[in-house]
Amino acid sequence: MTSIDVHQLTKAYGTTRAVDRLSFRVRPGRVTGFLGPNGAGKSTTMRLVLGLDRPTGGTATIGGRPYAQLAEPLRTVGALLDAEAAHGSRTPRSHLSVLAASNGIAASRVEAVLEETGLADVGARRIKTFSLGMRQRLGIAAVLLGDPEVVMLDEPSNGLDPEGIIWIRELMKRLAREGRTVLVSSHLMNETASFADHLVVLGRGRLLADLPMQEFLESRSRPRVHLRTTEQARLRSVLEAKGLTVVQAEDGRWAVDGVTAKVIGTLAADEGIPLLELADERATLEQAYLDLTADDTPFAASTFAASTTSTRQEARP
């Protein structure tokens, strides 16, 4: 199968190193989320992989070849970097037909991808009348046209309504299940947590993390438990005897740091203390990401990078 390989990739614009000796591999069969603060170098990396820019140093290859050497690029890589790329006076059907004809792709694929992206009914409308969300769907139709093994999407949820966001999430997961290599950049952490299996995180052009989503969350989470009990005095003394500190919230719930629900549940059961609620706090991707990128966020307001949220994360689907 076809991986994307970035090796010691560097791109300098004057004195700015947009990408700085970057190395990572995007593997098939999973969705890789591509994260990083504004200006971290995500778009530049994607452009270098697609041969739209020349690197200052290092290499970016797809299935071992630079993009320019792919025999049938659109059949190998589908990429969405700019949803405005289609000409406004064209229709989706004519736009996709031209792309198919010039890339040796069967004309039957045009109708297939119009169906798949929900654009079949507007296939004859002029693109200039399209909303941002419809343009985004058209961009994705073009990505899928060549039935590519590698899919690269830059902010694909941009402009999509909630139904469209669910659609794109399911589409990305399906493409990965089919064994394709899927690289997706996003600024939306909850969104990314809902579709990515693996993460590559950049900061100031450098690699900050390259690891499975679950590992990333676990490596950056501090255990914390939330609970409620009817026997506060007794439970408090049991926990304090174990060296645990209880923080009481206004709603009567407690938070206990540095311990898991399993430990507290066992202690309470041993003492016959009833618990009305007991849950481990799960690290959100947002918390983990902010923690990792705090020193690499050039445009952060001073309080932003240090902020944490107390919202508890729903279990990942």
Ligand X SMILES: Nc1ncnc2c1ncn2[C@@H]1O[C@H](COP(=O)(O)OP(=O)(O)OP(=O)(O)O)[C@@H](O)[C@H]1O
CB 55 within 8 A of CB 48: yes
Least gap, CB of 50 to ligand X (angstroms): 13
Piece of 12-20, 105-113, 132-140, 233-241 that binds ligand X (CB under 6 A): 12-20
Q: Tell me if 73 contacts ligand X by CB under 6 A.
A: no
Return the range that interacts with ligand X (CB under 6 A); candidates 33-41, 63-71, 94-102, 301-309: 33-41
CB of 162 to ligand X, least distance (A): 23
Distance CA 279, CA 301 (A): 32
- Supply the minimum distance, in Å, between the C-beta of residue 308 and ligand X: 22
Measured from the CB atom, the residue of 4 and 105 that comes closer to ligand X is 4
With vertex at residue 130, the alpha carbon angle to CA 125 and CA 136, rounded to the nearest 5 degrees, is: 115
CB 41 within 8 A of CB 27: no
Helix runs in the chain, H state only = 42-49, 73-76, 92-102, 108-116, 132-145, 162-177, 189-195, 213-219, 232-241, 261-271, 285-293
Residue 39 or 73 having the CB closest to ligand X: 39
Binding mask 39-58 for ligand X (x = CB under 6 A): xxxxxx--------------
Q: Which stretch binds ligand X (CB under 6 A): 38-46, 59-67, 268-276, 281-289?
A: 38-46
Counting contacts by CB under 6 A, is residue 292 touching ligand X? no
Please identify, using beta-carbon distances, which residue of 96 and 201 lies nearer to ligand X: 201
13 touches ligand X by CB under 6 A: yes
Contacting residues for 70 by C-beta, under 8 A, at least 6 apart: 62, 63, 76, 77
DSSP per residue, 120-142 = GGGTTS-GGG--HHHHHHHHHHH
Which residues sit at the interface with ligand X, rule CB under 6 A?
A: 13, 16, 18, 36, 38-44
